[in-house]
Amino acid sequence: MANIISDDTIEYVGILAKLELKEEEKARAKKDMSEMLDYIDKLNELDTDGVEPMSHIFPVSNVFREDIVTNTDGSKDTLLNAPKQKDGGFMVPKTIGS
């Protein structure tokens, strides 16, 4: 393995992904991540000079909708996914400390 993932990196990625990992999970994730980076290094060996960066896998552009309202009241379906609800909204833990 050419790429070594540090404890700090795995901690940081965990925070970004909002994941709490156990020690053995961290070890496994470190190994997986270093293998992924090794694979990317392999791809980087390819000479891409003069090749346009690809922004999409399909050779398609300009797919648009016209600005017309066709959706009707979607609250019932939307709220089916709410673990808790109140006054027609999703109830979540308080987001701002005072």
Partner 1 sequence: MSKIYETVIGLEVHVELATKTKIFCSCSTAFGGAPNTHTCPVCTGMPGALPVLNRQVVEYAMAVGIATNCKITQYCKFDRKNYFYPDNPQNYQISQLYLPICRDGGIEIETAAGKKTVGIHEIHMEEDAGKLVHDEWEDVSIVDYNRSGVPLIEIVSEPDMRSAEEVIAYLEKLRLIIQYLGASDCKLNEGSMRADVNLSVREAGAKEFGTRTEMKNLNSFKAIARAVEGERARQIELLEEGKKIIQETRRWDDNKETSHTMRSKEDAKDYRYFPEPDLVPVVINDEWIAEVRSRQPEMRQEKMARYQTQYGLPAYDAGILTGDKTFADLFEAAVEICGKPKKVSNWIMVETIRLLKENGMSPDQIQFSPENLAKIVRLSDEGTVTNTVAKEVFELVFLKDIDPEAYIKEHGLSTVSDEGALRAAVEQVIRENPQSVEDYHNGKEKAIGFLVGQTMRAMKGKANPAMVNQLLRELLQAI
> Where along the sequence are the contacts to partner 1 (CB under 8 A)?
12, 15-16, 18, 55-58, 60-71, 73-75, 77-79, 81, 86-96
The length of the chain is 98
Least distance from partner 1 to the Cβ atom of residue 93, Å? 6
Least distance from partner 1 to the Cβ atom of residue 32, Å? 17
Least distance from partner 1 to the Cβ atom of residue 98, Å? 10
Nearer to partner 1, 22 or 65 (CB): 65
- Alpha-carbon torsion angle 15, 9, 31, 1, nearest 10: 160
CB atoms within 10 A of CB 21: 16
Residues 6 or more apart in contact with residue 20 via CB below 8 angstroms: 14
Helix (H, G, I), strand (E, B) or coil at 84: coil
Nearer to partner 1, 40 or 63 (CB): 63
